[in-house]
């Protein structure tokens, strides 16, 4: 399938979707505290999504049961909200959410430390976040897709972290997942040429230890094989003639 090009008007609709998604993230961020459950966050997010008149993009997607993915510690992605899972000091929590607004998807994830992080956790979060912004900087007209991928890989592997290979970013628009896949590893100067109007969900998933992951018997939750903590940051980004534009801001 070809990589779809969005018109400026379509990008504005995606920006609107992304802005509402940011409001959802901002609404629940202060609730990421010791003692809260991931189901508390899910309920709050769903009520905010309803209030905004948006649709939760993940809910019902291949049978996924919730608006949020809430992935704690060694969980990499696709952790499911659970009313028995109580957050505690020292945990890290990735919150991933997507919306559909006026037919257009937006997708964004943030990883938070619960309480005061150790230096090792701060480093994992800081490096993973920095790799997302380094990748976004590579989303330039005339560049190549794997310039984005290499930016993540180079930065994170230089710090000794493991880059997850099994899950990747993606094109996004009238569907949550469009071409191209956006891996977090690759060779600079390779891959499809980047063009104005492409919109990508760029989402480094980075393990403090080895890169290998496996999926739990619940069929969704991906965890690190070595038990190391994993971080995940994601933005929906439009490639334009005036440079990359983060739509989920």
Residue choice 69, 95, 127, 199 for contact with ligand MF3 (CB under 6 A): 69
Q: List the alpha helices (DSSP H) in the chain.
A: 8-28, 38-52, 119-137, 145-158
78 binds ligand MF3 (CB under 6 A): yes
**CA nearest to 155, candidates 189, 202, 206:** 206
Q: 63 or 119: whose CB is closer to ligand MF3?
A: 63
- Minimum gap (Å) between residue 203 Cβ and Co ion: 5
What torsion, rounded to 10 degrees, do the Cα atoms 202, 44, 223, 18 define? Answer: -10
- Which one of 11, 41, 68, 201 is in contact with ligand MF3 (CB under 6 A)? 201
Is the peptide bond preceding residue 180 cis, with omega within 30 degrees of 0? yes
How many other β-carbons are positioned within 10 Å of the β-carbon of residue 219?
11
| One of 107, 138, 147, 178 touching ligand MF3 (CB under 6 A) | 107
Q: Give which of Co ion, ligand MF3, none residue 25 binds (C-beta under 5 to 8 Å, depending on kind).
A: none
| Contacts (CB under 6 A) with ligand MF3, residues 110-169 | none
| Window 83-102: residues binding ligand MF3 (CB under 6 A) | 96, 98
Phi, psi of 18 (to 5 degrees): -65, -35
User: Could you give phi then psi for residue 122, rounded to 5 degrees?
Assistant: -55, -40
| Residue for token pair 């739509």 | 247
Of the candidates 2, 1, 18, 21, the residue with the CA atom closest to the CA atom of residue 10 = 18
Picked from ligand MF3, Co ion, none, the partner binding residue 64 (CB below 5 to 8 A depending on kind) is ligand MF3
- Contact map string, positions 148 to 187, toward Co ion, x by CB under 5 A: ----------------------------------------
Q: Which is nearer to ligand MF3, 31 or 100 (CB)?
A: 100
C-alpha distances out from residue 120 to 125, 126, 228, 235, Å: 9, 10, 11, 24
Residue 201 in the binding site for Co ion (CB under 5 A): yes
Residue placing its CB nearer to Co ion in the complex, 36 or 110: 110
| Contact set for ligand MF3, span 39-68 (CB under 6 A) | 58, 61-62, 64
Which of Co ion, ligand MF3, none lies near 61, with the C-beta cut-off 5 to 8 A by kind? ligand MF3
CB of 142 to ligand MF3, least distance (A): 26
The whole-angstrom separation of Cα 163 and Cα 169 is 13
The CA distance from 99 to 208, in Å, is 29
* Contact residues: ligand MF3, CB under 6 A: 58, 61-62, 64, 69, 78, 96, 98, 107, 170, 201, 234
* Contact residues: Co ion, CB under 5 A: 107, 201
């Amino acid at each position: 399938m070809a990589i779809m090009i969005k018109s400026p008007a379509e990008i504005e609709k995606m920006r609107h979707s992304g802005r509402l998604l940011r409001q959802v993230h901002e609404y629940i961020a202060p609730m990421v505290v010791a003692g809260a459950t991931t189901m508390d966050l899910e309920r709050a997010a769903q009520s905010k999504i309803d209030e905004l008149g948006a649709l939760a993009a993940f809910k019902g997607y291949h049978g996924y049961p919730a608006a949020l993915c809430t992935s704690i510690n060694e969980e990499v992605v696709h952790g499911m909200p659970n009313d028995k899972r109580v957050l505690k000091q020292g945990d890290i929590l990735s919150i991933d959410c997507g919306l559909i607004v006026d037919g257009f998807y937006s997708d964004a994830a943030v990883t938070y430390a619960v309480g005061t992080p150790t230096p090792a956790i701060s480093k994992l979060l800081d490096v993973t976040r920095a790799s997302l912004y380094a990748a976004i900087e590579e989303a330039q007209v005339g560049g190549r897709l794997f310039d984005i991928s290499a930016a993540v890989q180079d930065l994170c592997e230089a710090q000794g972290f493991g880059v997850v290979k099994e899950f990747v970013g993606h094109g996004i628009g009238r569907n949550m997942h469009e071409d191209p896949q956006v891996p977090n590893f690759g060779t600079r100067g390779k891959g499809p040429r980047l063009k104005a109007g492409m919109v990508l969900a760029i989402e480094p998933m980075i393990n403090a230890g080895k890169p290998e992951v496996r999926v739990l018997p619940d069929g969704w939750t991906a965890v690190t094989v070595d038990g190391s903590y994993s971080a995940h940051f994601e933005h929906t980004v439009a490639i334009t003639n005036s440079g990359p534009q983060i739509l989920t801001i």
